[in-house]
Structure formats: C-alpha cells, structure tokens
C-alpha cells in the first residue's frame, strides 16, 4: 500500500513524550522554569547584568589571588587546588568579557552557567578548606544566591536553588574536616547561616519582582500609547486627509476652468494647489508611520511612504535597500522614518525636485543609514542619517 504524505503522516510517526519527560516538564512549570518565564530580561538589561557580574568576578578573583599568595598557611595540595579553581573561574569570566567587548549576543543561559560554576567552585573550596570551620569561605554563598534571585524571576525556582545550595553546604559542614562541634554550638551557627541565605534571597527576589512589575506597567503604558497613535493615524486618514484631498481636487478643477484668461488667478490657484499637496503629504507622516507601531519593518513602511509621496506630489520617488534589516527597536525605526519624511518634504517644498531616491543601507554591521539624494534646483538635498544599534 502507498501512503499519501502530509502533516497527518508526520503526526502519526511522532513518538509521544515519555513519562519522565512529562514529569520534568510539570516540575519545571511548577517552579516557573519554562523558557517563557526565564526570557524576562530585555537584551540591554541582560547585557548590563552580565557586565556587572563579570566586573564583580574580576574583583573577587583579585581578592582570591591576594588571599592565595599572601601569607599562605596550607600545603602544596591545597594551594594547587585553589589555584585551579581560580584559573577555571578566570577563564570563564575572561570568555564572557570577550563576548561583551565583541558585542556578542548575551543570553540568560550564560549567566546561569556562570553562577552555577560559582556554586560548584565555592562548594569545592569549602570542602577542601576543612568545611564549616573555615572563617570566610561560606560568605561567598550570600552574593551567589542573591545573583540567582536577580536572574531567576520565579520565587519558587529561586527557593529551590537556595535549598540545593543549603543542602550541599550542610552536607559538607557535617562530613568534611571535624564536622560540627556541638559543644561550641556550631549547629546553631550553621542554621543561622542557612537562614540568612533564605532571607537574603527573598528580599532580593522581592525587589527584583517589584522592578519587573514597574517595567511591565511602563511597557503596558507604551503599548497603550502605540494603540492611540494607530487610532489617531486612522482618524486622520478617515477625516482630515480625505478632506484635504477633496479640497485639492477642487482647486485643480478650478485651475483648469480658469485657464489662461486670468494669469494672477491661475498663479494663485497653482500656489494653493501646491500648498494643498504639501498639506496632504504632511498628513501622510502619522498615517504611514503608524504601521511601524503595528510591527511593520522599516523598509516596508518607507516603501509605502515613498509611493504616497509620488502619488501626492507627482514627483517620481524610489526606495532602494542594501542588506537585511536588523531587528531595530521601534524608536530607532520611527526616527529613521521621520528623517526620510523630512528629507522628502524639503525636496518637494524647496528643491523643486524632479526625482528623489531614498536609500536604506544595512551593510554597516548592526546599524542602518538613510540617504535621500535629490535631482532638482535649490540647495543640495543629500540627507544622511545613521542610527546604530545591536539586534535584539
């Protein structure tokens, strides 16, 4: 028998998820560890968080090197182990530093790997330095769990992380070196240290969540403003722009009827017609720019705008694009759009242009350039604007 290919055939041969995978997915969703909840930091914020983390690590590495070489009180084996830990941490921090300087994309996975490496390094350091009795190694746990609280949005997920760290630290304290001295009440000190971890995580997560809530409200207000802009552009199109267009048609009709019998009237109607076209063109700015706030690419919005310029002014205009448009922010796309609009307006009003060419250049590596060379009289009308920005 021959089977007919199609999507149903693919679904028929797709293996159902295993029970273990379903349990892991349910556990991740219960802890708030799905991808949608973890992708909560914008690219700029994630880059800033990575920069601060790397700089903090350079400071910690410098302190550890001083502690390692200044008046050491341990043997060669421990010295070698400490040196290897510092070397591994330096290598990873240096790699992240290189990615930042090279303007590479930062993801939360890299920070999570850095903090996980810190947790492993601190725990190994506690284990090879006589466990609970070391005077300061456990202090590195506190900024570590605070960093996890900033990176991870879910309080339950953060509490799970700090619980794992606490269990590991408690196990090392109980089994490594002399363990806990009950006569000096070491168990109470251990409980206090773990409790401070939990309290610190709750406070930091609460502050981080409050900041995310403020940012979410700001984003919602910006979206409301975008909806208002779109509605306003639609209102302008349905009322003012159409009325101005009809007025322009009436003026052109009156100019045709006047003929050459009254040169002054003809000149007045000609200037009024030109003013009407300029007004209609000015109204096209918020109308066509509204597409950017609806998610249109800059090239598509500008191509529609250039076509409108030709239809309104009878001046031939063309848009050319070089390279692939990067995912620029809405603000950057809006600024470039306004620059091109102003250049076209000046070309029509002042240069008496016979032809206009709008050029979008994305070949500069992460940025964009907009040029508007004009063929006409008057002052030179070559306008250039460069807006640089990293892709999101």
**What confidence score (pLDDT) does residue 388 get?**
41
Q: Is the Cβ–Cβ distance between 307 and 344 less than 8 Å?
A: no
Token pair belonging to 207: 């502050």
- Examine the pLDDT at 87 and tell me if it is beyond 90: yes
d(CA 313, CA 53): 55
CA nearest to 90, candidates 71, 63, 109: 63
**What confidence score (pLDDT) does residue 92 get?**
95
> How do residues 293-344 score in pLDDT, each as one tens digit?
777 788 888 888 888 888 888 888 888 888 888 877 777 888 888 888 888 8
d(CA 75, CA 93): 27
**What confidence score (pLDDT) does residue 165 get?**
94
> How do residues 129-170 score in pLDDT, each as one tens digit?
888 988 888 899 999 999 998 888 788 888 999 999 999 999
- Cβ neighbors of 250 (< 8 A, separation 6 or more) are none
**What confidence score (pLDDT) does residue 381 get?**
43
CA nearest to 360, candidates 350, 352, 370, 348: 370
Residue 331 CA, chain-centre distance (Å), reads 13
- pTM, two decimals, is 0.57
d(CA 254, CA 248): 10
Token pair belonging to 354: 């016979």
- Cβ neighbors of 215 (< 8 A, separation 6 or more) are none
For residue 117, name the pLDDT band (cuts at 50, 70, 90). Answer: very high
- Examine the pLDDT at 370 and tell me if it is beyond 90: no
d(CA 373, CA 45): 38
- Examine the pLDDT at 256 and tell me if it is beyond 80: no
- What the chain holds in terms of domains, given with CATH numbers, is 23-179 (1.20.140), 296-392 (3.30.565.10)
d(CA 196, CA 189): 11
Long-range contacts of 144-149 (CB under 8 A, 24+ apart): 144/115, 144/118, 144/119, 145/197, 145/200, 145/201, 146/200, 146/201, 146/204, 147/53, 147/115, 147/118, 148/115, 148/201, 149/200, 149/201, 149/204, 149/205, 149/208
């Amino acid at each position: 028998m021959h089977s007919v290919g199609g999507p149903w055939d693919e679904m028929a041969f797709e293996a159902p998820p295993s029970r273990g995978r379903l349990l892991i997915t349910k556990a991740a969703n219960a802890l708030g560890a799905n991808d949608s909840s973890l992708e909560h930091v914008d690219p700029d914020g994630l880059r800033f968080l990575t920069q601060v983390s790397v700089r903090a690590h350079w400071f910690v590495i410098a302190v550890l090197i001083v502690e390692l070489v200044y008046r050491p009180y341990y043997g060669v084996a421990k010295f070698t182990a400490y040196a290897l830990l510092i070397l591994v941490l330096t290598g990873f921090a240096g790699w992240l530093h290189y990615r930042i300087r090279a303007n590479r994309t930062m993801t939360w996975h890299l920070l999570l790997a850095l903090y996980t490496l810190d947790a492993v390094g601190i725990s190994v350091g506690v284990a090879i330095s006589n466990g609970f009795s070391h005077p300061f190694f456990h202090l590195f746990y506190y900024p570590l769990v605070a960093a996890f609280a900033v990176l991870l949005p879910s309080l339950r997920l953060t509490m799970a992380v700090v619980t794992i760290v606490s269990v590991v630290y408690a196990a090392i304290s109980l089994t490594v070196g002399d363990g806990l001295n009950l006569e000096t009440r070491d168990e109470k000190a251990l409980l206090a240290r773990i409790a401070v971890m939990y309290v610190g995580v709750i406070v930091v997560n609460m502050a981080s969540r409050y900041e995310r809530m403020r940012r979410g409200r700001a984003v919602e207000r910006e979206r409301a403003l975008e909806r208002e802009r779109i509605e306003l552009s639609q209102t302008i199109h349905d009322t003012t722009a159409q009325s101005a267009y009809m007025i322009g048609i009436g003026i052109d009709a009156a100019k045709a009827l006047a003929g050459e019998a009254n040169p002054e009237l003809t000149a007045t109607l000609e200037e009024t017609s030109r003013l009407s076209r300029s007004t209609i063109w000015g109204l096209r700015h918020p109308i066509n720019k509204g597409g950017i706030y609806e998610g249109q690419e800059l090239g598509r919005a500008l191509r529609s705008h250039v076509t409108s310029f030709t239809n309104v002014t009878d001046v031939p205009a063309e848009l050319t694009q070089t390279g692939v448009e990067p995912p620029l922010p809405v603000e950057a796309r809006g600024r470039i759009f306004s620059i091109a609009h102003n250049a076209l307006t000046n070309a029509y009003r002042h240069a008496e242009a016979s032809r206009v060419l709008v050029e979008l250049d994305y070949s500069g590596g992460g940025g964009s350039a907009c040029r508007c060379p004009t063929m006409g009289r008057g002052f030179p009308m070559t306008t250039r604007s460069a807006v640089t920005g990293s892709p999101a």
